[in-house]
Structure 1
Amino acid sequence: MGAGGAVPIVVGVGDIKNRSQKIEDAVEPMKLMLQATLVAIKDTGLSEAKAKKLQSAIESVSVVANWTWNYPDLPGLISENLGVNPSYKAISDHGGNSPAKFFDEAARRISAGESRVAVVTGGEALASLGACAAAGKMPPPGWTKPDKNAPTVDLSAVSNRAETVGTVHSVGLPIHVYPLYENGFRAHHGQSMAENNKESAKLYADFAKVAEKMPLAWNYGQPAATEDFIGTVSKKNRMICYPYPLLMNAFNNINLAGTCLLTSTDYARELGIPESKWIYALGGAGTSDSGNFWERPNFYSSPSISRSLDAGLEVSGLNKDQIDLFDFYSCFPIVPKLACKHLGFSVTDLPKPITLLGGLTSFGGAGNNYSMHALTAMVRELRNGKVRNGLVLANGGVATYQHVVCLSTHPRDSPYPKENPLPPILDDETVPSFDERAEGEATIETYTVEFSRNGAPSRGHIVGRLKSNGHRFLANHADSNTLQQLSSGVKEQIGRNGWVSTGQDGRNLFSFDIAEKL
């Protein structure tokens, strides 16, 4: 251990993909994670005897919460199957920021001498679970008995969430909120609807080409979707929430697991892990915007993304020009767009790669664990010796939680940061006052329209501002004419005036009709 503490490095990475969706081939998430961890141990290049010594020295097991299965004690189960009893065990909250956050925290513990070896892992078997559900069957015998006392993970319906002004208006899922940002971003930057759609389609077509060549990608071996196909609404690419058709939404029905294995340079030398396997953890930072999307400063920028990028680079002793490879979380096009805008990158003419995997549509959503695979891919790219520094941006919630980590082929000049430089939640941004019940003339701040499976618009979601006091409100469409105009996809709706009132069911309803008669 050096004067400033141990130097944290990644020495092993492992990924597992179970592509089969046959019920008899279904493997539970815990076992996929275990397999990925054993692959990561083997990836160190150690002999069998020394690999066993490394495994027995695992003192930290951090597990990204999964969507597939309710476990009574997932970190404990993985530890037991590894034959270790770590002093530190943790399972994350639900959020795609978790892999990077846990990676950063594991590096901190190693630097502080609290852990010799740390495992950071996560995985899903959503494709297998979906196949079982479609067949009306339970998973094969051998899956861990589920914890009946654990809360059921259901991210598919607003109605299953605790009641808020968002649930009253049936809004708040990722499919709703990210489009609110995309529309706000488009209007703020003066793009036409056609220009915005073309930009998103090109971005995701470029991502699809990356996934096409990535063996771990769920779509590997299939021709990449083209820009025209991604940007055109069709039966196979129906509109979900404007402006995003299906192929601009994350795809989560996958069976994937990944693991990063961290230790110190001292222990790696003691074991004889080749230095060609070492990748240095440089630093990390993360924070969160309000969990209530209606309490955000605006819908064209993300303070949590911007601040996490800036702080992650700063604590790592780097600037953006020193990063050779990026992987920006990409559940919807707006997340990489927000990151690129902050860093001054053109989304249509990128100076450097911003995805190693191909995005959550083409690579696969992997639940909360997408960025674990970005970390494992980054380690492999850096080991090739052609580049020096990489950055992973992991996003969670509805553009809510962020965490950035930087990795390198070279060590830091100073000890690993002792703490996250950012607060858990940003509370220093100016946010408009909010009225749960709204009455009067109003302007659309941003919006989206939800579409049914038959392609017809079904519900308008409006974030508006009252003209009388500038307060923000949420509303649904009040009438078919308003819904038709919101869903036209031709005329910019943001900035248009209308009228809002509160209905008998407690929902605010927005209409163009009354305003146009005034």
Structure 2
Amino acid sequence: MLVGIGTCMQREDSPKRALEPMDLMLKAVQRAGADAGGAHTLVGVEHIAVPKGRWRYRNPAGEIARVIGAGSATTVLASVGVLQQSLIGEACSRIALGEIDTALIAGADASYRILRAKQLGERATERQQEGTPDISVEPAEELLHPAELRAGIRMPVALYAILESAWRSKNGLPVSAHRQQLGAMYQRFSEIAAANPQAWRRQALTAAEISDASDRNPMQAFPYTRLHCSTWNVDQAAALLLCSAAKARALGVPQSKWVYPLASSESNHMVPVSARADLAGCVGARLAGHSALAAANMDALQLDLLELYSCFPVAVEAYAQELGISLTRELTVTGGMPFAGGPFNNYVLQATCRMAELIREGRGCTGLVSSVSGVLTKQGFGLWANQPCAGGFASTDVTSDTARLDVPKTVVEAFRGRGVVAGYTVLHDKGAVPRALVLADTDTGFRALAWSEDTALVRRMEDSEFCGATIAVEDELFTLA
């Protein structure tokens, strides 16, 4: 069970005074130990895992082990592209199987420190580390398709916005109504963040302030403004201390601190956005989500608390749709990544800490935390409760089942011919002319990416639905057919 949670956040404008990520991580770990009853609960931890952040440390888990007195711990470093829930699920599984008694998962990012250093013309330095982790976990494949890179897509917002347009079209929402819905959903997120003491941005905003572009809230990739996007420039850390019931008793951890992992599930089937047959759906989320719930003999309507991964709105919408969850209910316990903060490759740990805190307080008996890696590429879920599951902890991997159902399309480059728009966005890069980007189903049965800088066409694509429109593609440019 989860017996210790620790979070740490700083907003220090001087990069020289700001703690570097390793020190934030260590502070979160020490707080997790204190939360469980004292530093003695960390001594001798047998398994320490860390998801890679925007730092260069070679073996952060090894440094944690040395500091807390766990020199024999197995150390793990997971690269970007590995689900954070995978680390939690692996630790819980090893404890459930009796292979180990204690495990620690910790992560941190200090992107605000990096930003401030850049603004001041300074360097955000980090200490060097010796040694290597016992286990390094890497994603099996690349997250982006070569055609996406050729089209100039470097940031995930463009691809998420394309998925958003497909979701909007599939659900029959007019463009204006859809933007209002996004604003209302994220207004509620900002209100939840305002009440979360661990949130980075604690100001409740209106739907209009979120969805309407302005100098302080510029459009990024239509329909996403900056406030629809994860806030990555934050300094935040989190740590989870897990152990068996016998070990918790031996350590003297009060039972009021115990939060039980009922299930962990994941899908690691990787298909680049451009090749996905169904841009509006997420097969892996459906299979993994229902697998986690089934392990506890539950359905989504029985959940008291939810944390749907919120890097961009379509991640929330697609997960909710696949699980049969209404968008009108509370979808986050933190306030979401734009407002609570989205530390690079560490948010699931932050959200799990908040979920455990609320379960302990009696704000709910059960809670589901979802996980995303890549561009809605991999999907994961952690199911938590204030009571153990009769069948014990369950861990499932639905990757092979997802692969059988999610057959990718062939993406071609330098296409010439006709196509039907499957998804699109308008990119608003700073200092550049707005550029429309479409992903089309070609008349030859393939997929192709194309773009246009035609001002009238771009304006029309932001005012009315363009999914389903027929276009003519000449290499990488498109026009209406």
TM-score when normalising by structure 2: 0.93
- Number of the residue aligned with 1:184: 166
* Contact 1:16–1:256 under 8 Å retained in 2: yes
* Contact 2:5–2:239 under 8 Å retained in 1: yes
- Number of the residue aligned with 2:439: 463
Tell me which amino acid in the other structure corresponds to 2:276. R
Spell out the pairing of 1:394-409 with structure 2 (5 A cutoff).
394-409=371-386
Report the more deviating stretch, 295-304 or 422-431. 422-431
Q: Which runs of 5+ in 2 are unaligned?
A: 133-142
Match of 1:166 among 148, 156, 179: 148
Matched, 1:477 2:452: yes
Matched, 1:501 2:481: no
- Number of the residue aligned with 2:34: 42
Compared with structure 1, are the counterparts of its residues 495 and 139 closer, same or farther at alpha carbon in structure 2 (3 Å cutoff)?
closer
State the Cα distance separating 1:403 from its structure 2 match.
1.0
CA deviation vs aligned residue, 1:382-414 (integer Å, no higher than 9, x gap): 111342111100112111111101011111112
Report the more deviating stretch, 174-183 or 287-296. 287-296
Matched, 1:413 2:390: yes
CA deviation vs aligned residue, 1:286-311 (integer Å, no higher than 9, x gap): 11343421121221111122222111
Q: Which runs of 5+ in 1 are unaligned?
A: 1-8, 150-160, 503-507
Compared with structure 1, are the counterparts of its residues 163 and 282 closer, same or farther at alpha carbon in structure 2 (3 Å cutoff)?
closer
Alignment: residue pair count: 471
Match of 2:417 among 432, 437, 440: 440
Tell me which amino acid in the other structure corresponds to 1:192. P
Match of 1:131 among 101, 112, 116: 116
Matched, 1:376 2:353: yes
* Contact 2:109–2:235 under 8 Å retained in 1: yes
Compared with structure 1, are the counterparts of its residues 118 and 399 closer, same or farther at alpha carbon in structure 2 (3 Å cutoff)?
same
Spell out the pairing of 1:170-319 with structure 2 (5 A cutoff).
170-171=152-153, 173-220=155-202, 223-319=203-299
Compared with structure 1, are the counterparts of its residues 450 and 146 closer, same or farther at alpha carbon in structure 2 (3 Å cutoff)?
farther
Give SS of 1:439's match: strand
Tell me which amino acid in the other structure corresponds to 2:346. N
Identical residues among aligned pairs (%): 26
Compared with structure 1, are the counterparts of its residues 162 and 383 closer, same or farther at alpha carbon in structure 2 (3 Å cutoff)?
closer
Give SS of 2:153's match: coil
Matched, 1:355 2:300: no
Tell me which amino acid in the other structure corresponds to 2:100. S
Compared with structure 1, are the counterparts of its residues 215 and 440 closer, same or farther at alpha carbon in structure 2 (3 Å cutoff)?
same
- Number of the residue aligned with 1:3: none
C-alpha RMSD of matched pairs (Å): 2.3
- Number of the residue aligned with 2:91: 106
- Number of the residue aligned with 1:121: 106
State the Cα distance separating 1:185 from its structure 2 match.
0.7
* Contact 1:173–1:398 under 8 Å retained in 2: no
- Number of the residue aligned with 2:399: 423
Give SS of 1:368's match: coil
State the Cα distance separating 1:25 from its structure 2 match.
2.1
State the Cα distance separating 1:425 from its structure 2 match.
8.4
CA deviation vs aligned residue, 1:108-137 (integer Å, no higher than 9, x gap): 111112222100110111111211122122
State the Cα distance separating 1:500 from its structure 2 match.
0.8
| Counterpart Cα distance in 1 of 2:128 and 2:89 | 32
Report the more deviating stretch, 474-483 or 291-300. 474-483
Tell me which amino acid in the other structure corresponds to 1:497. T
CA deviation vs aligned residue, 1:65-88 (integer Å, no higher than 9, x gap): 111x10121211221222222442
| Counterpart Cα distance in 1 of 2:307 and 2:326 | 15
| Counterpart Cα distance in 2 of 1:272 and 1:397 | 40
| Counterpart Cα distance in 2 of 1:290 and 1:139 | 34
State the Cα distance separating 1:457 from its structure 2 match.
4.4
| Counterpart Cα distance in 2 of 1:509 and 1:122 | 42
* Contact 1:324–1:389 under 8 Å retained in 2: yes
* Contact 2:308–2:319 under 8 Å retained in 1: yes
Match of 1:85 among 71, 78, 87: 71
| Counterpart Cα distance in 1 of 2:441 and 2:98 | 52
| Counterpart Cα distance in 1 of 2:99 and 2:72 | 11
* Contact 1:121–1:258 under 8 Å retained in 2: yes
Matched, 1:61 2:55: no
- Number of the residue aligned with 2:15: 23
- Number of the residue aligned with 1:157: none
The structure with more radius of gyration: 1
Give SS of 1:362's match: coil
TM-score when normalising by structure 1: 0.86
| Counterpart Cα distance in 2 of 1:173 and 1:22 | 28
Compared with structure 1, are the counterparts of its residues 359 and 163 closer, same or farther at alpha carbon in structure 2 (3 Å cutoff)?
closer
